[in-house]
Amino acid sequence: MAAERTVGTLPLARRLTVPAHAAPRQYARRTRALLGGWLALALAIVVHALANDAWPGAGTVAQAMQGGPSGMNSDATLGWLLFVDAWMPQIRAGLAAGACLGLAGALLQTITQNPLASGELLGVSAGAQMGLIVALLVPGLAVLPMMLAGGVLAALFTFALAGGTRTTPLRLTLAGAANALALSALCMVALTLYTRAAVGVVQWSTGSLQQFGKRGAEEAMWLLLPAGVALLALLHPLGLARFGEAQASALGQRVGAVRVGTILLAAVLSAIAIALAGPVGFVGLAAPNLVRLMGVHRPAWLIPLSALWGGAMLIFTDAIARALVTFGALPVGVMSAVIGAPVLLLLLRYGLPASTAEMTAPMAAGHRASNRRPMAVIAVLVVVALIAVTGLTLTMGVLSWPSAWQWRDVFDPHTAAGMLVDLRLPRSLIAMGAGALLAGSGVLLQGACRNPLAGPELLGVNQAAGLAVLALLLVSPDAAARWSMPAAWAASAGVLAIVLGVNARWGLAPMRVILTGMALAGLLAALANLLVLQFHVHATQALVWLVGSSYGQSWHGVRALLPWLAICLPLAVYAGRWLDLLSLGDETAEALGVPVVRARLGLLVLASAMAAAAVATVGPVAYVGLIVPNALRSLPLTGTRDRIVTAALAGALLLGVADLFGRTLFAPLDLPLGIVTAAVGTPLFLWLLSRTFLRSHAHAG
């Protein structure tokens, strides 16, 4: 029998033993990964130089070594300066940013025992973007420190929201998704209100390795030294952490302190990468998994090799982006999203779950009541509130009643009353209709996926519909009026089909569903920013659409939205019985006569159609499909049909009030719908998340 090296005397000693005959194989794998990483890095640098036409040539290098730029001719001098001052800073920034992303991903994957973790899950990108906006809006603030502070604070808030040292991979993922959504909404609010910062932030959000002079990357690189020291201190504790909390604690490790330090270091590294290259995604996810596929699992080797491969991947990605575009460079953030999103989807489709117990979560059922009286009371109250909002919409801000204000004048567009109705009532009705569709869509999605966070915002459904309509508006504004709703529905249905296809074999587990939605939402957001830049759209106008607005709506829009309301909402109520039976489990529902596969597919198609119709009308308004269904869980409703009806009424009320407040609170400034819903929905969403879903997992953990 081969000799074994044993670590400790624990019940799971087999996990802590390394057979002696395995050492040569491990050494060979590490050597291949190391040499392959250096070879890939060298190849990426050469390809990047060729794509940028930055190679100075042997003659220019010889002249520079002999006499410096002063001894060259003008062409050689220009080529040398471009090589030294333009291309070399990009390579340094790419190496540093890619290494930081790879390190951050490896650290998070090791400490959470989740191969799908990366810096994006902490909300660092959204926090850094908020820091950039604050630095641009407040004179005297330095950009780099504000971006670093924003990213680190966002990560700390995510960690605290997830339960601090008691966090689990699922809770950290949920909190990160919620925090990123909240910060992104606040960023959109700030950019829409303060237009002078919009263009720069949109350009930055696409990602770029372009640096301004030799010192472009040096401002952030000084942080790499203390980060490296902290990393060296964490390597040994991380080596023990991979065996699990119980074993690490038995070996004397302070598990909570190591987890806090690791997450904080990963946040700092992610923030440094964002400061150097902008929000470049997926490198931190792909690099550690690529190293792991080569057979390297020990953190002492996995983490530094992830840094090496991360730098090579980012430089190679930027080289591909520059080589594919003839006029102007494709932003590296967009290219990384295009390449990285399919990689993440493949990992989600075929990767193994980190922990089965933490990758699934049952839906919390609402209260059951013995009769339908609570439903009737709630519906009547909401309808009365809707009528009151409609009345306030028509009358608020009117200095004096028109002398001819009579019922017959309301329908005459040439009278004061008729003009007032034509200006205010259509946009209010459209906002209410869109709110009803979004809230109903959220109920269907959460019920069909059995996931309380499966709203159209987190699954990428709203983003897909918004991108489709935006592209149609930019390519052919005339066709957009006719084809916006079909295009939005096709895009949202396609994204939903991807989410289902990727996660079907895993039972639509919450972590996988959310990660899939985040991957698709990141890709769609990058493509939307690229469209804005490529078509030279005024950034503020594009942001108003992407945040959601009821500007300029008329009775034509009401007539276009009405058929969707008349068809989709009754179908959703009719399908409520299916949702009640599906909540009992697939086997029970099948035994009760429900065609589970066809029923779930029909529910999801209907949900995507409802969300697409709303987005095509008012834009991708956030939070409605997520907040309203979860807020109604505490009400005494008898079943899913009651929740659908109540959610539709509550969603209509929410967007009706948002339209009213947006038009009147800061008059004459007319705030878009999305700004008001973000201001109200962000704290409410975080509160609901911490009070319900995260708290339930805290008790379970």
pLDDT at 639: 77
User: Using 50, 70 and 90 to split pLDDT, how confident is the model at 439?
Assistant: very high
pLDDT at 35: 93
At 483, phi and psi to the nearest 5?
A: -110, 5
Query: What is the spatial distance between Cα 68 and Cα 63, in angstroms, rounded to a whole number?
Result: 7
Question: Where in the chain do CATH 1.10.3470.10 domains reside?
Answer: 32-350, 373-394+408-700
pLDDT, tens only, 343-399: 777 777 765 454 433 444 444 444 444 445 566 777 788 888 888 888 787 777 655
pLDDT, tens only, 542-555: 667 777 788 778 88
At 19, phi and psi to the nearest 5?
A: -60, 140
Which one-letter amino acid corresponds to residue 267?
Answer: A
Could you tell me which of 186, 190, 328, 262 has the C-alpha nearest to residue 686? Answer: 186
pLDDT, tens only, 621-652: 878 888 888 888 777 777 788 889 889 999 99
Residue 57 backbone class (left: φ over 0; alpha: ψ -120 to 50; beta: rest): left
Query: What is the spatial distance between Cα 60 and Cα 80, in angstroms, rounded to a whole number?
Result: 7
Rounded average pLDDT over 313-339: 75
Could you tell me which of 314, 319, 325 has the C-alpha nearest to residue 48? Answer: 319
Higher pLDDT, 107 or 544: 107
* 32-350 to CATH, choices 1.10.3470.10, 2.60.40.10, 3.30.300.30, 3.90.1150.10: 1.10.3470.10
Could you tell me which of 180, 148, 188, 153 has the C-alpha nearest to residue 276? Answer: 148
Of the listed ranges 296-305, 327-336, 455-464, the one predicted with least confidence: 327-336
Query: What is the spatial distance between Cα 327 and Cα 334, in angstroms, rounded to a whole number?
Result: 16
Does 4 have pLDDT greater than 50?
Answer: no
pLDDT at 459: 79
pLDDT at 74: 54
Does 404 have pLDDT greater than 70?
Answer: no
User: Using 50, 70 and 90 to split pLDDT, how confident is the model at 485?
Assistant: confident
User: Using 50, 70 and 90 to split pLDDT, how confident is the model at 185?
Assistant: confident
373-394+408-700 — its CATH code?
1.10.3470.10
pLDDT, tens only, 138-170: 877 877 788 888 888 888 888 887 777 676 666
Residue partners of 62: CB distance under 8 A and separation at least 6? none
Residue 667 backbone class (left: φ over 0; alpha: ψ -120 to 50; beta: rest): beta
pLDDT at 365: 46
649 close to 382: Cβ distance less than 8 angstroms: yes
User: What percent of the chain shows pLDDT beyond 90?
Assistant: 8
What's the pTM?
A: 0.73
pLDDT, tens only, 673-687: 887 887 777 777 777
DSSP secondary structure code for residue 213 in this structure: S
pLDDT at 3: 44
Question: Is residue 375 within a helix (H) or strand (E), and if so which, with residue range?
Answer: helix 373-395
447 close to 582: Cβ distance less than 8 angstroms: yes
Residue partners of 344: CB distance under 8 A and separation at least 6? 116, 282, 285, 286, 515, 516, 519
Helix (H, G, I), strand (E, B) or coil at 5: strand
636 close to 413: Cβ distance less than 8 angstroms: no
Helix (H, G, I), strand (E, B) or coil at 653: helix
Token look-up 């079943």 returns: 639
